[in-house]
Structure formats: structure tokens, C-alpha cells
Amino acid sequence: MNSPIIAPSILSADFANLQRDVEMINRSEADWFHVDIMDGVFVPNISFGFPVQKAIQKHATKPLDVHLMIVQPERYIKEFKEAGAAILSVHIEASTHLNRTLQAIKAEGMKAGVAINPHTPVSLLADIIQDADLVCMMSVNPGFGGQQFIEHTYQKCAELKEMIVKRNSRCLIEIDGGVNQITAPKLLTAGADVLVVGNYVFSSSHPLETIQSLKKLFSHTHQA
């Protein structure tokens, strides 16, 4: 089994020292940068747009995993590609023509992801699971960092893994929200492939070691 992917969330970085934090992730054992884009409409918060994403891209040496928490995400696919996105995820709740949007993302040369909110059942993904490269499963209510992990996520993750295997899909499962040393091993056991880590890394006094410990945790979990 491949080593799972760690994607630190830039939303939890220190924006006054963004280059410093990006370079810390470059040096770490993390695999991707997770970039949350919020429009204040789909979620009750506004994060940042293309100029900040381009600033991250300028210094990042790892792929940008961009999570669009916006209405009508299909309007900006090309712009996010130009701003450096390698993976682009859109919310199922915000996409009227999801299949078309996923194909448009792939046509721009990016990996196509589908994000789902905590209340959205996994069953709604059945018809597109073979078209998606990734499902970003929200394990907190989207909009703000540092929120309480929703326990039902473990069961949901296991259900999604079963669907992926049954349909012979190569889709990865990404968990976004409340990931730490307690939730991470259980999520991996449930079938997660990618863990988004925010406050757990950026509030750590030794973030490089925190990321390394998650990487070790992964290998131990999968050997068990």
C-alpha cells in the first residue's frame, strides 16, 4: 500500500509570514499544499483569491490541492489552473452539472475532485465516483478552521471506500477538518488516503516533527 498523502492547509498558516510557512512545508515530509477558496456565499467566510494563490505557487515546490467552497465553481476553472492548481475540488452541493465540471477540470490538465459537506450522504457520489480523482470529505462544517471533528466521518469514509472498491474506481479519499494524532489513525483504518491538517500542524511548536509523526503513524497503521 502506498504511503498516504499529507496536505497542510494554508488557511491555518500565518498570513503575515506566508512565505516562511510555505517554505516550512516545502522542507517537511508533507506531500501537497491544501488551499481553501471561500466566497462568503457558499460558506460563511471569505478566504483569499487568485493573487494569494499565485503568491503561494511562487514559493511552493509541492502540488497545490485547491478546494473551492464557492458557488458556480465552473466559472473559474481556467483561472485556478493558471494560478497553479494541480488538483481542483468542487462541492457537489454547489455544482448543478457536476459531471461536466469534472470533465472541464480534467481538460485543463488538473486532477478533478468532488467535495462533500458533513450532511451530504455518500450515496450521491455513486454516479460520478469513476470520473473523480478525489473526494474531499468535510469532517467539520466548512467555513472556519479549528472546529470540532464530526465522529460520523469514520463510518462515512468506510462507506465511500466500499463504493470505490466495488466500482473499481481509482478515486482517493481526502479528509478535511479536525485531523490530529487521535483522529488520523482511525481515519486511515476507515480507508482515507489523504489527510488535510491545519491547526494541528501550524499551532505546533515543532511543525516539521508533527508532520513527520503523522507520516510515521501512517506506515504503522497500514502495517497493523
Residues belonging to the active site: 36, 176
CB 23 within 8 A of CB 59: yes
Distance separating alpha carbons of residues 25 and 46, to the nearest angstrom: 23
CB 12 within 8 A of CB 199: yes
Distance separating alpha carbons of residues 103 and 162, to the nearest angstrom: 24
CB 4 within 8 A of CB 166: no
Q: How many CA atoms lie within 13 A of 73 on its CB side?
A: 32
CB 56 within 8 A of CB 22: yes
